[in-house]
Structure 1
Amino acid sequence: MSLLGRLLSNRRAGEVHAAWNLPHLQGPDLLSVTSHHFVDGGAMPLEHAARHVGGRNLSPHLAWSPLPAGTAQLLLVVEDTDVPMARPAAHCLALIDPAVEHLASGALAARQPAAGVRVLRSTIGRGYQGPAPIKGHGPHHYTFQLFALSSAVGTAPDGSALERARPRALLSSLTTPVLARGRLTGTFER
């Protein structure tokens, strides 16, 4: 067990500040979100972890139940709620065309995202950033949160390109109503 991991073992961001719990991202309906690679609450395979911890940084397959009528865009937010910071770390933010019915493995790559996917800035970089928790810190929960939006996200809070917006600022500034939402949580530990 790593000394740093032990020292920070009781420090975790927690779910209270996760995108899922933001008042303006609540929705009347629920979506079912699934993956071929792990079950809700189950361990994520190593291939989905960051390269520097032995993974391939490959985003997992994701699928969801049919979207409600009027869905203009999907927002995917992947957060680590166990990071030893005040707020969860955003490992991926992406806007998805509602015609997309699922994401194949690797669809959230920064350089070549899948058709209908627009990857945005995360806490760590751009595109999907796989798990890489501090060694010895215990299991981390990576929550894949999907929001069906009634209108497309236009610009970043400061009017700049969405790709440059900071994740927390972007999430806080969303004003479009959420029609439905769903989530899937995977765990990873070093």
Structure 2
Amino acid sequence: MAASTITGTDSPPNTNTPLDPSEIPAHIDNLISLNLHLWPALTVAIQNAWGTSSPALGEDKRAWLAGALSDMFAQNQLRDVEDVEDVLAQVMNDEFETVVDDESLEEVAANIWNGRAQLLKGDVTEVRRLMGVWQEKKGKNVVTVVQGEDVDQETDEEDEDGDTWNGFADGSGDGEDVEMDEAPSLVDSSQGRKKPEPEVDEEGFTKVMHKKR
């Protein structure tokens, strides 16, 4: 899996400046990338190499997921926020062997869905807010997390050996400090988008699919 290198400015344009419609796709890319980088469950899975052979491969998978979500939005394959949840849950399970057991998955999906709706109206407020959150977390350098204990799975669809993410530590001392990874580079809205290719495994290729209802 090869992750593309994207460059751009440190922050989106001022919200008072009218947003050119041609710039919206790049800002959607930034919105998705920032949400994924700020998702503690995904960060911990990457840093602990859950479902991968190294953190670097996990980072490539995250970049691929961001590109895949952008493409699915562009192709109108994501009809509502539940479709976004389905994709995130499937990738966490299939690619990182992690079951997200807290409410963060729904929160990330909602942030992506609602943030995109704002961008389609020319409003970059959410992207600016996320960048501010990232800068603050990067300054603190660590987030406190706890890995949940393995739980018995009741269905054959779930990986019995997979890790379970139960959310943040409750302050009882069971958590561990995990270093924040490097901030995602913003896409320059004046440049074409570059998407990382999905990882090809021994059985063929990896493909993100959202559940049909």
TM-score by length of 2: 0.27
Q: Name the structure with the higher strand share.
A: 1
TM-score by length of 1: 0.29
Q: Name the structure with the higher helix share.
A: 2
